[in-house]
Amino acid sequence: MSGTSSVDFTTLYQAAKDVRGVREEVNGEIRAFDGTVAHMLSGWRGAAATAFQGLAGQWQQDIGRVLLALDGIADALEKSAGMHQQTDADQQAAVNSIIAGINPS
């Protein structure tokens, strides 16, 4: 069973804006978490602290990739929206040209 879907450029632009909003929310939570971790580590010494610092560093790398992925998704949505918008404008110009040819004033 095949279906069709319909999307317009305003929806795509809004989706990109929403993704960027989510990215900023996530980034805010990350900054808060980082502050908590830094405070906790400031007085923690020993092997467990060292091991935890390693895990925290790995987590930073992983979450950085998540943020980059969100940026990429938003960028792709904006690019697609721009392409849809240009296609709509091109089609409108073609229709106007046909109408002008049929009904010369």
Rounded Cα distance, 26 and 16, in Å: 15
**Mean pLDDT, the chain, as a whole number?**
91
User: Residue 2: which pLDDT band, with cuts at 50, 70 and 90?
Assistant: low
Give percent of the chain with pLDDT exceeding 90. 63
| 10 to 5, 89, 103: CA distances (angstroms) | 15, 13, 32
Rounded Cα distance, 92 and 9, in Å: 14
Chain mean position to CA 99: 40
Average pLDDT over residues 25-31: 95
37-77 pLDDT, tens digit per residue, is 899 888 899 999 999 999 999 999 999 999 999 999 999 99
* pLDDT value of residue 17: 98
Rounded Cα distance, 9 and 77, in Å: 9
pTM value > 0.85: no
